[in-house]
Structure 1
Amino acid sequence: MIIHEDPSPNSVSSPVSTAKDSRCYTVEDLMEMLLLSRPTVYRLLKQNEFRWFKVSGAYRISKASFEAWLNDGTVERNPAVLHPQHFKRNLLFFSRDEKSRLNFYIDREVSFMDDMRNTSAPLYGKAEPATTKTTMSVREMRQLLGLGKTDSYWLLHKNLFEVILINEKRRIVISSFEKWYTNQVKYHKVNGPPPGEELCKRSYSVPDAAEILKVKPETIYTLIRQGKLKTETTDFCMRIPKEEFERWYRSQSRYRTAADRERDREIEAQTISIPEMAKLLGIPRKNVYGILDCKKYRDCFVIERMADRPRITKKSFKAWLKSQSTYQLQKPKKETHEEPPLKLQCPKNGKYYSFQEIQAFYGISRPTLDSWVLKEGIPTMKLGRVKRIQKDAFDEVLKSKRKVEEDV
């Protein structure tokens, strides 16, 4: 009698585990580990990158030789992930679909290596300090600035920041990108600090300079065209260096900042201008300049300049006024402007005015005349192509709206 014994669970092993524990790999094992198709694995075998042999028509790959090829020139890693250098060397032998899939694994591997450098620490012993990420992909830069694909590659072609190649993929050095970002104001991060931090520390834009001086930007452009302000161009934007702006500001006194205007108001309250002095004395302005240039009175006045114009202190003006008797303060005269009365005129027709005659006789504009006709209901009539207004009706309206001298 034959007795069949059930094998114990510990004695049973799967083909995969048996293959993994042996000294050789099969083609199926490489397909599973490298996530490649069977023809691609056969092409790798024909390149003789590692040792292999045939047993009864089946390929067997040396485990030690394959792992040495897989980890050649790299840090220790999971052997199930193919190193990017092998992708770079063998990419010409892959199909189009396999190339796109391998390119995806290259990007993922590079990003994984950067992340592992930032967060890696030994399980035992003293932990090493984490290093920051040094590069980023073009897609990450595009998402950071909220740009389209064309705009992002346009920035790369202008060489505004440092770009390196890793496995035939462009990577942007983060330090050079941040330096460029702080020295421009055109591009903004979607979620991040505003741009131009370093640029704003050393220069002004034209609107900034106009806001400081409380003038229009056209005034700043006029000063630039006249050569009084020197500028520099950054990313097609005109900027004024702060040192140049301060040098020009100290060389003039016409344009003032807000702080200097407050100080000028205090000076203005304690001084009078040349026209104000001429008005107080009741003399022409040229006579005031003659008084200031006279040797007799030259030392009596204290003059301060504000906005390139001389101003005389009120204290010195009062002292000079008491020291002489030639000039005295004049009482201000009230100016009254009275219009002379209008004199009624007789039109050529005798009973009707034309619109041109009313404008010539009384100096009334055509829009005002049209509004009087509509609001006051002045009767009009048309003689041929000319529109006329009845004289008596218009004279009554004119007397109610203007001062009129009766015609005898």
Structure 2
Amino acid sequence: MSVFLLLSFLIIYLLLHLLIWNNQKERLNLLLDAEVKQLQGPMYEELLQGQYQGPGNQAFTLSADQSFYVILNSEGNLLGSGEIQPGLKEQVLKLADSGTAGTTGKGLEIVELEQGPGPLHKGNDPKDSPQTAYLFGSRTFEHKGQPAGILYAGKDVTFQQQLFRWLLGVLAAIAAAFILLAAVFSRVMSRQAMVPVRRAYDRQKHFAADASHELRTPLSVLLSSIETLKLEDSINEQPFTRHVVDGMYSEVQRMTALTRDLLLLARSDAGLLEQDLRRFDLAPALARMLSGLSVLAEAKQILLELEAPAELPVKQDQEKLVQLMIILLENAIKFTPAGGSVILRAASIQKNGSPWLKLEVEDTGVGIPAEDLNRIFERFYRPDQSRSREAGGHGLGLAIAKELVDTLGGNIRAENCPGGGSIFRVELRG
């Protein structure tokens, strides 16, 4: 709407400018043509005889369409003139001598001339004399087929010039006021329009959080019941029944993990994830974490390595930080083939004069397709669907890692290693 308004004002201004100035130029051109026609007749002889030199005698009538005229012969001598106020003739002659007084064709231009006695009177400061705008034109005329002289004439267009300046200011002020009102109105209306959307989004977030929370209890009961069934001798004696129970147990575990992840994401969306900052030594916590994941790594013959100083004091939320690293390490182990390695690096760095914690998880897996690097932190996004199904998971692990990093006040990014594999880099305020 604002762009449309500005274009409308611009078109109106240009059309008015074109119509009014074309009308003024057309009237002056008609006047010049009529006067040149007279000069090319008997009037030229009368001018030479001085019949128009007396007081009150003028060759052409001065009016609203003609504020002054100056007639020069081919040698540049003055043959006749007329002016509505003293001083205009001298200024026109000065312009003619300097060669800036228009053209000898039908071109017209606007010149600024001083009101009053003019610049030839010594002692007058030009700054003290008001300027008047004149539409200025010239015509050459002939006598008996030979160039005889040139006619200069002009009309006062100060009102038109001031009118367009005033019109431009008014249109600019109206446009600015309208744009301001449109911006305020649009902001108010957009807020009103977003109210039902925001309410629906809030209901969705609360529903996801409530549903995930409510599912945890029955899933825990199912898991406990299946674990109890697995202890029964009759179940173990029947292979088919044992297979069914194991499948149920595996699926319930997957549902429990998915519910836990959805609950965490729902709490994050609702802004309920809070930090529990406290100072602790991260080095032994990382060592214990690797020890706990060693069984998972040994099952795939993957070597887990830790590169960190003996002591690494940090001020962070220990629970969320450990959860973040477990997600990244499990993801690295999951997508690293047998016989590979996963390296966890931790170090304290200085960034912008403040201590930061730098963490890296590097694996020797197949890496991440370049087109997926910017999307792997999206929820439920899995670059290789078939490989992800084989490895398990729902595409939420890295999304949760991103939420945890945002909560902890840092950044995370993924890169491919030149020799193969991938590396996840995390920087947190330490």
Settle same-fold status: TM greater than 0.5.
Answer: no
Higher relative contact order (CA 8 A, sep 6+): 2
With the length of structure 2 as denominator, give the TM-score of the two structures.
0.21
Higher-Rg member (1/2): 1
With the length of structure 1 as denominator, give the TM-score of the two structures.
0.22
